[in-house]
Structure 1
Amino acid sequence: MLSLGSGGVKPGKPSFVSYVTPEEIKTSEKEVLRKEKDLDLLPGEVVFCSASPVLKYTQDEGSQRGVFGTLLCSNFKVSFVSDEESTEEMAPLFRNKLYGENDIPLTCIDQIYGVNEEKKKLILGGQVKSKYPSKIIIYCKDLRVFQFCLTYAKEEEAKKIFQGIVHHSLEPKSLKCLFAFSYFEKAGPIPVTHRKQKTIMFESKEDWAMEMRRTKGHCTLVTANENYNISEKLPQFFFVPSAVSEEDINSFHGKGLPVWCWSHHSGCALFKASSLTVVLEDSVSQPYMERMLTAVAQTYLFSVKTEDLSSTLPTVQDIQQAYNKFKQYFLIDNATEFWISDVKWFSSLENSGWFDIIRQCLMKAVEIVECLEKENTNVLMMEEDGSDLCCVISSLVQLMLDPCFRTLSGFQSLLQKEWVAGCHSFLDRCNHLQREKELQAPVFLLFLECVCQLMQQHVPAFQFSETYLTVLSDSIHIPLFSTFLFNSPHQREYATKLESPETQRSPLNFPTVWDWSLQFDCKAQDFFTNPLYAEKPKQDKALRKPHRPKHQRQLSLPTAAFKSSPRKGFFKEETENLKKMLLGKRISRWIHSPEATPLTAREFYQSWLSKPLDYHGLLLPCLDGPAIRLWMQRYLRWIPEVQIFGGGSVTVMNKISDLVSEIQDLQRELDRCSSNAHSHSQRTEVPARPTARHSSSFPFASSRAWTFRPVIPTSLLHGLTMDEMVDKDDDNTEVLGIV
């Protein structure tokens, strides 16, 4: 590693500590071609441009330390190949097969900044001029930060690599330009693994019928949309209440149609519908909606509560705005910037509004859970398209009520049903094509945040781990999996057919993200399981009761609507009943009555908390301020200053995993010995597992990559506005760890 002077020296004139000069470091054209050849390219990946030597900076305190190497841009990723020899003695336990720690998938690039004469400027697509900056900073959607100095590369190479990175990551593109199309044309069909087969894909009538039988629901399967004749924003197969007529199914292209989500064991069910966005006369819209609500009620002979999520929860634009404010506190360029932001870090996170949106989504899910669990009331959620907040709330409700969805395969099946088959616009919300940025919003990430809150409060209830959720959030930005590449199953089917015209070539078969073997080997996938998961004990058939037992934590609360918490920023008030907005008084007998004793969320939670805990029953989140915690593994894994060496919750879970694995090895050895007749004369010792000192960012960031530095850099003593908070005596200075 080279040291290029202190922070006070301009990037253009660094003072070298190394004896190696830039001229001696520069490689020839043959060496650059050799590096491109040695680069681990995927099938269909083509290198567009490269530059060498390029300095990759480290996040040191105001200095220009870094590593020289070659910067390349392909149709899949931006890669940096270091000139230094690898000193790794053993392969990392958790390595992604598709890209490495110095690789950035093009769809994972969030923002690019150019630096000239210490002035930082945001680079936008279509605004690249002939002049290139001396330094580029790349902010990634997985919150990694890369800084590259182009000063030492040839002018023509530096210009091409800068323009190439900006063009292929920020310019609008067509769907067929995504790397998945090139990859699978070259790679051919991908074999389906055993792990993927456990996930129900909800692509056939049998999958939907099996789920209806599992939940003991009573709805009618609709097959008329098999060729997407009804709507392109509905799955090929779905369930509706039995009282819905064929005429109603074909009306308004599926708008306002109550689509079944899940059935409670009491008989009531959860439905969702897209709003009637077209301007209709009251004489047309009111009778139609009246028939839909009547059909829901007649199916189960319960009342119906409507939830207009568009008016009770933040909009998609609000979600995007809050997350933009939130994520900036984790995109750290250097240690100096980190410590400056650390002064008001917690208050800044809270003021972003991201935590408040998480609370609101969890709170709305709790409201619907009460209607289903205690009040035996059908719930119909409504939203403009029915594929954003409906997906979030519906998935959370099923996680809280159904323990099947807390297993690894069950959770993946839930995402297939509610998000993929439910036509969530992954392509637009992730902005893979860089076309309409106003449609971009981290709706799926918001759901994963809510799941992480539930998991942190009820760890033994979930079979999958926090690492699994983190990897899943990263996989959104890998342009290979059909799960996150399309806005609907119709778009996926149409796109794959376009790529296979009337030729001998078969349609492209994009795998789903659930085929984890494409990214990780079996040992790495072991990190996806939670070692503290409390499996449900198998009950003897002779002792089983003929009826399904209810949850131990039943909600013995009166029928009521929620009122807002007196604390600002906790929960929003419940929306007005849909009856007042659209339907009038003619269907009031089906609508949940709002006249009841007010009930706060705290009382609702406390009543459930007083019951015996059952990890395979109902789960509710605590929504107090301290209970909503930061998803530390995802947001802090790339910041060296916050790492805990040899500690942290991740390290504790890793130790528990090692113990569980050792117990399993011993059990297998005992089973083998018991089946061997000569086991008394043969004794096989189980080899000890190698132990390593990991940091709290494990398994994503290796501990060897971090350097031990003072808690607060000395150069910040005069820059931070902490004169009133820190005394000037030497004793207090030593307590803070200042050297």
Structure 2
Amino acid sequence: RFSLKPKCHREIVVNEVSFVRKCIGADSSHGDLWGKLICTNFKVSFITHDALPMQRFQVANRLLGEHDVPLACVEQVVTVNDAKGKQKVLCSNQKLKFNPTELILYCKDFRIIRFRFDEAGPQSAKKVCLAIAHYSQPADPQLLFGFEYVGKQYYGSLGRYTVHSINSIPTRVNGVDPGGGLQMPLFDRPSEWDREIKRTGAAEWRVCSINEGYVVSPSLPEYFVVPVSLADQDLKQYLCFFTAHRIPLWCWNHPNGSALVRMASISDPLQQRKLDQRICSAITKSHPQRSDVLKSDLDKNLPNIQDIQAAFVKVRQICVIEPFEESEEKWLSSMESSRWLEYVRAFLKHSAEVVYLLEGKHVSVILQEEEDRDLSCVVSSLVQLMLDPHFRSLTGFQSLVQKEWVMAGHRFLDRCNHLKKNDKEESPLFQLFLDCVWQIINQYPAAFEFTEMYLTVLSDSMWIPVFSTFLFNCPQQRTENSMDFAKSKCIPVGGEKALRFPPVWDWSQQFTPKDQALFNNPMYVGKGATCVQNGAVKSFRRTKVNYPGTVPDAWK
């Protein structure tokens, strides 16, 4: 009666159990659903003929059913035995000494899902629980479902990922869908950086290719932008003095000529002053008015990744595990004590200070961080979002994330903890960024082409392990793992052939055109957007932060 028709190519059923009850109500069994619980190599699936009421503005994912949870989204697998009063958190390849009567899945998207096995076979229930625990904690990146998904479907030219027809999606060549699909830069080729240089009017900046083949730095993209006055030979000499060989990267140019740059710390103290002067001199020469360059040390001025993770864990505890156990006043007090909103405010405030320097003071700004792969991603993105209307469009926002997060080497694999190997490396930097964006959208709703729904599905997509966007720590790791996987599966690569992971930006892989329409803000008015503040109409584009004095102490 209950059967699973896999929605994803190469998805296979690992284990299943029938006569399972999915708990819907918190206090009673009223409204619970009966069906079959299935574990595949991609997701936990619950198949039932009963239906929940359709919620307003709900979207249907092409890769996931109404009751499906991607294995990468499972944070913790807990089994319970009522009779023995036992509870156990399951890990990969672990034995279970009792037959579970209940399974609780704690999910990374703030869901708690409960299944009861009162009528199910005890051994079958135990096996499916162990399978979920095992497959939700892969030991190696290549065991993530994305590699199986890509193995046959996305095999084509090195020039762009090539999508062959899947789930009735038209063929795309060179990253462009004639029907209106993916049409945005992925920043994996010099021509796309050239276009960004021209779009922002950064005449004194050039595309650098010294990292082709990732020979210089494994965490940098193959192509990036540097001042015209810095020769390739000079850059190669400076490499060894920067942490992880991450030399300064251009992010964006203001129309007044000021540049936003990010770079790693200089690891050699003896060379620090000399290199600082050389880099600042080159950036100054790239400014039409030869304005000053100011440096912001993000490690000193903002919370670290451990603090952000600790705050996020507290928020999850408050919102998911104990949402209704306290009064509203105490709940709000608990939220405040988590410090999450304090950190959101800190990043927004710091970004506004950088905006003031770039636009108000006409100076270039260097964002400096130990390895330039975490805090700088958040700040550089927020600054550009505040200053450039292009990045407040849907396509522009996606290109911003692609440029400042994916290509710049944010450690999505580690920070999302997809392999559940090192909890100390886990930190929700991208969720923090999306929360900051949500805060700005709520202040200036007409300035953004995309909606809260779009931010939600983008966040949820982090836990669907088929997209290159969130699967790797850097472009080099994606290339290396793709080659290794191809060899292990005897898939011929080399020359003009390669495995191409699809980016998340091709939304037709997950949603119909009708559902994608919910991403678009009907109030969007483009760069002329205004807001009402204290009874006065103000332009979003020209809103500035007025600080007492001149330059804040943090910038001296």
Amino acid at match of 2:505: W
1:268 to 244, 258, 262: 258
Gap change, CA 1:60 and 1:557, over 3 Å in 2: closer
Alignment check: 8 A CA contact 2:6 2:12 kept: no
Cα offset for 1:457?
0.5
Partner AA of 1:320 in structure 2: Q
* Secondary structure at 1:363 match in 2: helix
CA contact (8 A) 2:182 2:505 kept: no
| Structure 2 match to 1:590 | none
Does the Cα contact within 8 Å between 2:15 and 2:131 map onto a contact in 1?
yes
Q: Which residue of the partner structure matches residue 151 of structure 1?
A: 118
Over 3 Å counting, the alpha-carbon distance change for 1:445 and 1:552 in structure 2 is closer
Gaps of 5+ in 1: 1-30, 538-548, 563-573, 578-593, 595-739
Say whether 1:109 aligns with 2:109: no
Deviations along 1:10-32, one digit per CA (max 9) or x if unpaired, are xxxxxxxxxxxxxxxxxxxxx6x
**Equivalent runs, 1:173-188 vs 2, <5 Å:** 173-188=139-154
Q: Which residue of structure 2 aligns with residue 665 of structure 1?
A: none
Match of 2:64 among 99, 116, 124: 99
Larger-gyration structure (1/2) = 1
Give the number of the structure whose residues are more often strand, by fraction: 2
Identity %: 38
* Aligned match of 1:76: 42
Question: Which amino acid letter does the alignment assign opposite residue 73 of structure 2?
Answer: C
* Residue of 395, 399, 402 corresponding to 1:416: 402
- Aligned pairs for 1:517-532 within 5 A: 517-532=508-523
**Conserved in 1, the CA contact under 8 Å of 2:33 and 2:50?**
no
Residues 1:306 and 1:526: Cα distance change in structure 2 (over 3 Å): same
1:380 maps to 2:360:
no
Root mean square deviation of aligned Cα: 2.7
**2:377 alignment partner, one of 391, 395, 401:** 391
* Change over 3 Å in CA distance of 1:444–1:85 after alignment to 2: closer
Could you say if the C-alpha distance between residues 271 and 202 of structure 1 is closer, same or farther in structure 2, counting changes exceeding 3 Å?
same
| Distance of 1:275 and 1:482 partners within structure 2 | 28
The aligned counterpart of 1:317 is 306
Alignment CA distance shift 1:516-1:340 (3 Å) = same
| Distance of 2:446 and 2:540 partners within structure 1 | 20
3-state SS of paired residue (1:165)? helix
Counterpart contact for 1:54–1:69, Cα < 8 Å: yes
Match of 1:306 in 2: 295
Deviation of residue 517 (structure 1)? 0.5
Counterpart residue number, 1:736: none
> Which residue, out of 335, 340, 348, partners 1:349?
335
Mapping of 1:193-208 within 5 angstroms? 193-194=177-178, 195-208=180-193
Cα distance in 2 for partners of 1:436, 1:551 equals 42
Q: 1:174-573 residue pairs with structure 2 within 5 A? A: 174-188=140-154, 190=163, 191-192=171-172, 193-194=177-178, 195-217=180-202, 218-250=204-236, 251-253=238-240, 255=245, 257-277=247-267, 280=268, 282=270, 284-300=271-287, 301-332=290-321, 338-343=323-328, 344-501=330-487, 504=492, 506-535=497-526, 552-553=542-543, 560-562=550-552
DSSP 3-state at the match of 2:250: strand
Deviation digits for residues 318-339 of structure 1, max 9, x if unmatched? Answer: 111100000122225xxxx643
Task: Evaluate the alpha carbon distance shift between residue 369 and residue 235 of structure 1 in structure 2; reply closer, same or farther with a 3 A threshold.
Answer: same
1:49 aligns with 2:36: no
User: Conserved in 1, the CA contact under 8 Å of 2:18 and 2:35?
Assistant: yes
Deviations 1:130-176 (A, max 9, x none): 32432111111112221011232222211111111111113x42111
Superposition TM-score, scaled by structure 2 size:
0.86
The corresponding residue for 2:106 is 139
Shift of residue 535 of structure 1? 3.4
Contact 2:298 2:375 in 1 (8 A): yes
Q: 1:295 to 1:346 in 2, by over 3 A?
A: same
Asked if the contact 2:92–2:135 (Cα under 8 Å) also holds between the matched residues in 1, the reply is no
- Partner letter of residue 105 of structure 1? P
The corresponding residue for 2:535 is: none
* Whole-Å separation in 2 of the counterparts to 1:435 and 1:342: 37
1:311 to 1:93, Cα distance in 2 relative to 1, 3 A: closer
Kindly state the Cα deviation for residue 520 of structure 1 after the two structures are TM-superposed. 0.5
The count of corresponding residues between Structure 1 and Structure 2 is 513
Say if 1:256 and 1:536 are closer, same or farther in 2 by CA, change over 3 A. closer
CA distance in 1, matches of 2:54, 2:113: 25
Residue 111 of structure 1 aligns to a residue whose secondary structure is strand
Residues 206 and 81 of structure 1: CA distance in aligned 2, closer, same or farther (over 3 Å) = same
Q: Structure 1 residue 92: deviation in Å? A: 9.0
1:60 CA displacement: 3.2
Q: Which has the higher contact order (CA 8 A, sep 6+)?
A: 2
Residues 130 and 159 in structure 1, CA contact (< 8 A), matched pair in contact too: no
Q: 1:526 to 1:348 in 2, by over 3 A?
A: same
1:156 partner amino acid: Q
Paired residues of 2:447 and 2:524 also in contact (CA < 8 A): yes
Offset of 1:107 from its aligned partner? 0.2
Q: Which residue of 2 aligns with 1:21?
A: none
For residues 334-355 of structure 1, give each alpha carbon's deviation from its aligned partner in whole angstroms, at most 9, with x where no partner exists: xxx6432344211111111100
Unmatched 5+ stretches in structure 2: 155-161, 164-170, 529-538
**CA distance in structure 1 between the aligned counterparts of 2:427 and 2:19, rounded to whole angstroms:** 37
Q: What CA distance in whole angstroms lies between the structure 1 residues aligned with 2:492 and 2:305?
A: 43
Deviation at 1:381, TM superposition (A): 0.6
d(CA) in 2 for partners of 1:296 and 1:92? Answer: 47
Residue 392 of structure 1: how far off its partner (Å): 0.4
Q: State the distance in 2 between where 1:309 and 1:87 align.
A: 47
Paired residues of 1:302 and 1:376 also in contact (CA < 8 A): yes
Partner of 2:326, secondary structure, is: helix
Q: Which residue identity is paired with 1:532?
A: M
